[in-house]
Amino acid sequence: MSEVNKGYFTEENSADVVISRIADSTEPRLAEVISVITKHLHAAVKEIEPTQDEWLTAIKFLTETGHKSDDWRQEYILLSDIFGVSMLVDAINNRKPSGASESTVLGPFHVPDVPELPMGANICLDGKGHPMLIKGRILNTAGEPVANAKIDVWQTNDDGFYDVQQKGIQPDFNLRGVFRTGADGTYHFWGAKPRFYPIPDDGPVGKLLGSLGRHPFRPAHLHYILEADGYETLVTHIFDPDDEYIHSDAVFGVKESLLAKFDLIEDPERIAAEHPGGPFYQVIHDFVLAPDA
């Protein structure tokens, strides 16, 4: 038995004593994770020196966070998001080779089995908002087009809501679509200019944001999942660089490489050729897929 095991729990040796109680038969990865968490948690408590009332407040906060979670809402994921941990885990698990497009968080509003549409289709089924043409290329790190790449895209409407948040108000699959590239790797479709929106802030995580003087908003963006044989799946966004919240995303999802200029097209010839109904926005953004490891 080690000297730590023989010793009693003290303020000085607290983490070592707790870690020493982990049995040798414990699954190695679990033992490593719990050891690291224990070490850093005890170090944080020693630095903060919370009062008993403060520690009880922390316990109550975590309890309320659990009570707010259900099959449709995961308040702990929200908590992870606002501390930047979700983005850090995403970055660690999606390190890309030079030149490949960067990933960002999936978000809670992806819907599986969205109908596949012909290239160039309009995913804005209710015709609301400012029309927007989105186009670009899907390439590999050698600059070659990726054929038959699956593009799964979704976005908010002009009011900042996804279709699943407004059942009965928005049509099913509004502002969602799946497309496949041809041999040239290009893609284009119509949507609507997205709007910034708040993450759910009616629970304990939202109250914490308010206490920290932080807002709950995410800047306007489009979501993408890109899949192709022989390449890593890419989960990412493109963002409007002119959005008022672009430098203060509540979940830290913005990366400089994912900024895509949302240009207002007012040229009569372009309007006549592309969208006879009037001015429209245009976004051009290429994605580069990393080879499958």
Query: What CATH number should be reported for the domain holding residue 246?
Result: 2.60.130.10
Three-class secondary structure of residue 197 per DSSP: strand
Compute the average pLDDT of residues 256-284: 93
Average pLDDT value for residue range 118-145? 96
Q: Are 13 and 156 contained in the same domain?
A: no
Tell me, yes or no, whether 96 lies in a domain: yes
Query: Is residue 130's pLDDT more than 70?
Result: yes
Assigned token pair, 105? 């968080």
Element at 265 (helix H, strand E): strand 263-265
CA distance 207 to 65: 11
In this predicted model, what pLDDT tens digit does every residue of 218-244 receive, in sequence order? 999 999 999 999 999 999 999 999 999
* SS3 of residue 167 by DSSP: strand
Identify whether 63 is part of a domain: no
pLDDT at 276: 77
Q: What is the pTM of this model?
A: 0.89
Q: Are residues 44 and 186 in the same domain?
A: no
pLDDT of residue 239: 97
Specify the pairing of strand 131-140 against strand 197-198.
unpaired
Same domain, yes or no: 92 and 158: yes
Cα(272)–Cα(128) distance, integer angstroms: 20
Residue 30 and residue 134 in one domain = no
Strand order from edge to edge, sheet including 221-227: 176-180, 150-155, 221-227, 234-239
Q: Give 198's strand partners.
A: 217
Tell me: do 34 and 158 sit in the same domain. Answer: no
| pLDDT at residue 1 tops 60 | no
% of the chain residues with pLDDT over 90: 93
- Mean per-residue pLDDT for 146-172? 95
Q: Is residue 59 in a domain? A: no
Mean pLDDT value across the chain: 95
Same domain, 116 and 241: yes
Q: Is the pLDDT of residue 152 over 70?
A: yes
Cα distances from 52 to residues 55, 60, 81, 150, in angstroms, run: 5, 12, 28, 54
Q: How many domains does the chain have?
A: 2
> Are 35 and 97 part of one and the same domain?
no
Average pLDDT of span 157-184: 95
**Domain range holding 155?**
85-289
Structure confidence by residue, pLDDT tens digits, 184-219:
999 999 999 999 999 999 999 999 999 999 999 999
Question: At 151, is the pLDDT very low, low, confident or very high (cuts 50, 70, 90)?
Answer: very high
User: Does residue 61 fall inside a structural domain?
Assistant: no
pLDDT at position 275 over 90: no
Nearest to 288 by CA among 226, 241, 221, 229: 226
Whose CA is closest to 248, among 200, 199, 281, 194? 199
Does residue 110 sit within a domain? yes
Residue 54 falls inside a structural domain: no
Cα gap 75→256, rounded to integer Å: 28
Task: Judge if 31 and 165 occupy the same domain.
Answer: no
Confidence of residue 3 (pLDDT cuts 50, 70, 90): low
Q: Is residue 68 part of a domain?
A: no
Q: Quick one: 100 and 213 in the same domain?
A: yes
Looking at the fold, whether 104 and 210 belong to one and the same domain comes out as yes
pLDDT at position 6, please?
58
Task: Give the pLDDT score at 4.
Answer: 52
Same domain, 37 and 91: no
Q: Could you tell me if 262 and 136 lie in one domain?
A: yes
